[in-house]
Amino acid sequence: MSQARSSGRRYLKAFVSGFFVAVPVTVTALDRFAYVARVEGASMQPSLNPNGSDSDVVLLNRWSVRNFQVQRGDIVSVVSPRNPQQKIIKRVIGLEGDFIRTLGYKNRYVKVPDGHFWIEGDHHGHSLDSNSFGPVSVGLLHGRASHIIWPPHRWQRISPALPPNRGPLDTARTKTDPVCGHHSYG
Partner 1 sequence: MFRSLLGKALGFVGYTIQYGCIAHCAFEYIGEFVVCSGPSMEPTIVSHDIVFSERMSRHLYKIQKGDIVIAKSPYDPTMNICKRVIGLEGDKVLTRSDIFTSHTYVPKGHVWLEGDNLRNSTDSRSYGPIPYGLIRGRVCLKLWPIHTFGPLGENPNKQIVKSCKESD
Q: For residue 77, indicate whether it is catalytic.
A: no
Q: How far is the CB of 117 from partner 1 (least distance, A)?
A: 10
H helix runs in the chain, sequence order: 2-32, 130-133
Of 39, 43, 179, 41, nearest in space to 124 by CA: 43
**For residues 87 and 101, which CB has a smaller minimum distance to partner 1 in the complex?**
87
Does position 119 interact with partner 1 (CB under 8 A)? The reply is: no
Does position 25 interact with partner 1 (CB under 8 A)? The reply is: yes
Q: How many residues does the chain have?
A: 186
Separation CA 171–CA 71 (nearest Å): 19
Does position 114 interact with partner 1 (CB under 8 A)? The reply is: yes
Does position 141 interact with partner 1 (CB under 8 A)? The reply is: yes
Residue 18 one-letter amino acid: G
The one segment of 40-48, 112-120, 145-153, 168-176 that binds partner 1 by CB under 8 A: 112-120
Q: For residue 43, indicate whether it is catalytic.
A: yes
Burial of residue 116 (CB within 10 Å: 0-12, 13-18, 19+) is buried
Of the residues 43, 47, 77, 130, which is catalytic?
43
Separation CA 95–CA 138 (nearest Å): 9
Which residues are known catalytic residues? 43, 90
Binding site for partner 1 (CB under 8 A): 20-21, 23-25, 27-28, 31-32, 67-68, 79-85, 113-116, 137-141
